[in-house]
Chains A and B, each alone.
Chain A
Amino acid sequence: MKPSQFQHHAPERVDEVVALLAEYGDDAKVLAGGQSLIPIMALRMATYPHLVDIARVPDLSKISATPNAVRVGAMVRQSHAERDAAVATVPLLAKALPHIGHFQIRNRGTVGGSIAHADPASELPAVALALDARIEATGPGGVRFIDASEFFLSTWQTALDDGEILSAVEFPVWGAGSGFGVEEIARRKGDFALVGALAGVTLDGDRVTRACITMIGVGSTPVRCHEAEAALIAGGANADLNEIGRIAAAPLTPTHDVHASAAYRKHVSPAIVRRALTAALKEARS
Chain B
Amino acid sequence: MSSPVAARFVGSAVHRKEDRRLLTGHGQYVADASAPRMVHAAFLRSEHAKARLNSVNIEAALSAPGVVAVYLWSDFHEKFGEAWHAMLGQELVVPPPLAIMDVRYVGDPIALVIAESRALAEDACGLIEVDYEAEQATVDYATAAADGNVVHAAWGLPSNVMVDMPFTPMSPDLDETFNSVQHVVETTIIQNRYLCVPMETRGVLASWVPGLEELDLIVSTQSVHETRNFFARYLGLDEGAVRVSARDVGGGFGQKMFVFREECAVVLATKLLGRPVKWIEDRLENLTSAGHSRNELGKVRMAISADGIIEAITVDHVADVGAYTPCPAVMDPTLLPGPYRIPRLGFSTQMVWTNTMGKAAYRGPWMFETTAREMAIDIAARQIGMDPAELRRRNLLSLAELPFTSPGGKVFQEITPLETLEQALGMLGYEEFRKEQAEAREQGRWLGVGICVYVEPTSMEQATLGTEGATIRIDSNGKVVAYLSTSSHGQSVETTMAQIIADDLGVAYDDVTVVQGDTQSTPYGPGTGGSRTAVIAGGAAHDAAVAVRDKVLAIAAHMMEAAPEDLQIAEGVIAVRGTPDRSLTMKEVATQAYTNAHTLPGDVGSGLEATIRFKPTRFPTWSNATHVCVVEIDPDTFIPRILRYIVSEDCGKMINPQVVEGQIFGGVVQGLGGVLYEDFRYDPDGNPQTTTFLDYLLPTTGETPLIEIGHIESVSTTNPGGFKGMGEGGAIGAHAAVANAVGDALAHLGVNVTSTPLGPEDIFQLVQASQKERA
Interfacial residues, chain A to chain B (CB-CB below 8 A): 1-5, 39, 43-44, 185, 187-192, 194, 257-261, 263-264, 267-268, 271-272, 275
Residue numbers in B under 8 Å from A194 (CB-CB): 760
- Tell me, in angstroms, the Cα distance from A213 to B759 when the chains sit together: 27
Contact B123 A4 (CB under 8 A): yes
Question: Inside 8 A of A5's CB, which chain B residues have their CB?
Answer: 119, 123
Q: When the two chains form their complex, are residues A187 and B119 in contact, meaning their CB atoms are under 8 A apart?
A: no
Chain B hits for A39, CB < 8 A: 692
- Which residue in B282, B690, B692, B700 is a CB contact (below 8 Å) of A188? B700
Inter-subunit contact B700/A189 (CB<8 Å): yes
Could you list 13 examples of A-B contacts with CB < 8 Å? A1-B283, A43-B692, A188-B677, A188-B699, A188-B700, A188-B703, A189-B702, A191-B697, A192-B694, A258-B681, A267-B768, A271-B637, A272-B636
Chain B interface mostly helix, strand, loop or mixed? loop
Q: Which of A1, A258, A268 is the one whose CB lies under 8 Å from B638?
A: A268
CB–CB B637/A258 < 8 A: no
**Contact (Cβ within 8 A) B700 A185:** no
- A4 pairs with B760, CB closer than 8 A: no
What chain A residues lie within 8 Å of B768 (beta carbons)? 263, 267
Asked if B122 is an interface residue, CB under 8 A from chain A, the answer is yes
Which residues of chain A come closer than 8 Å to B122, judged between CB atoms? 1-2, 4, 44
Are B760 and A264 in contact, CB atoms less than 8 angstroms apart? yes
Q: Tell me the total A-B contact number using a CB cutoff of 8 A.
A: 73
Q: Name 7 extra pairs, CB < 8 A, besides A2-B122, A4-B119, A188-B700.
A: A2-B282, A43-B284, A185-B637, A188-B702, A194-B760, A263-B768, A268-B638
B639 at interface (Cβ–Cβ under 8 A)? yes
Within 8 A of A (CB), among B677-697: 677, 681, 689-690, 692, 694-695, 697
For residue A260, which residues in chain B have a CB less than 8 angstroms away from its CB? 760-761
| Shortest Cβ gap from B615 to chain A (Å) | 45
User: In the bound complex, do residue A258 and residue B695 qualify as a contact, i.e. CB atoms below 8 Å apart?
Assistant: yes
Decide if B700 touches A264 in the complex (CB within 8 Å): no
**A2 and B760: CB pair below 8 A?**
no
Closest Cβ of chain B to A120, distance in Å, is 15
Known: A1-B284, A185-B637, A188-B697. A259 touches B759 (CB 8 A): yes
How far is the CB of B762 from the nearest CB of chain A, in Å?
Answer: 10
Per-residue interface assignment for chain B, residues 567 to 606, with 1 indicating a CB less than 8 Å from any chain A CB and 0 otherwise: 0000000000000000000000000000000000000000
Q: How far is the CA of A90 from the CA of B616 in the complex (A)?
A: 68
| Least distance between B641 CB and chain A CB atoms (Å) | 11
Tell yes or no: B750 within 8 A of A by CB.
Answer: no
Cross-chain contact B700 with A258 (CB below 8 angstroms): no
- Measured CB to CB, the nearest residue on chain A to B681 is A258
Judged by DSSP, the binding face of A is loop
**B149 shortest CB reach to chain A, Å:** 25
How far apart sit A39 and B283, CA to CA, in the bound complex (Å)? 12
B479 within 8 A of A: no
Known: A43-B284, A185-B639. A259 touches B761 (CB 8 A): yes
Mask, B85-123, CB within 8 Å of A = 1, is 000000000000000000000000000000001110011
Chain B residues with Cβ below 8 Å from A191 are 697
B contact residues around A271 at 8 Å (CB): 636-637
Chain A residue contacts of B117, Cβ below 8 A: 2
- B764 touches A (CB below 8 Å): yes
Q: How far is the CA of A275 from the CA of B635 in the complex (A)?
A: 13
Q: Report if A187-B760 is in contact (Cβ < 8 Å); known contacts: A43-B284, A44-B122, A272-B637.
A: yes
Which residues of B have CB within 8 Å of A2?
117-119, 122, 282
Is B126 interfacial (CB-CB < 8 Å)?
yes
The interface residues of chain A lying within 8 Å CB-to-CB of B699 are: 188
CA distance A268 to B634 in the complex (A): 11
Chain B positions within 8 Å of A187 at CB level? 639, 677, 697, 759-760
Q: With the chains together, A1 CA to B118 CA distance in Å?
A: 9
Chain B residues within 8 Å of A1, by CB: 122, 282-284
Q: Is the CB of A261 within 8 A of B637?
A: no
Report the Cα distance A90→B661, complex, angstroms. Answer: 46
Q: Are B703 and A268 in contact (CB under 8 A)?
A: no
Write the nearest CB–CB distance from A189 to chain B, whole angstroms.
3
Closest B residue to A186 using CB positions: B639
Cα separation A275 to B764 with both chains bound (whole Å): 19
The winner among B117, B118, B702 for most chain A CB atoms within 10 A is: B702
Chain A minimum-CB-distance residue to B762: A264
Closest A residue to B698 by CB, please name it: A188
Give every chain A residue within 8 A of B284 (Cβ-Cβ). Answer: 1, 43
Q: How far does the Cβ of A223 sit from chain B's closest Cβ, in whole Å? A: 18
By beta carbon, the residue of chain A nearest B689 is A258
CB-defined contacts of B118 to chain A, threshold 8 Å: 2
| CB neighbours of B764 from chain A (8 A) | 261, 263-264, 267-268
Most buried by B among A39, A268, A272: A268
Distance, CA A194 to CA B761, complexed state (A): 10
- How far apart are the CA atoms of A88 and B669 in the complex, in Å? 37
Report the Cα distance A234→B522, complex, angstroms: 80
How distant is the Cα of A194 from the Cα of B283 in the complex, in angstroms? 24
- CA separation between A161 and B692, bound complex, in Å? 31
Which A residues touch B694, using CB under 8 A?
Answer: 192
Q: Report B-chain residues with C-beta under 8 Å of the C-beta of A258.
A: 681, 689-690, 695
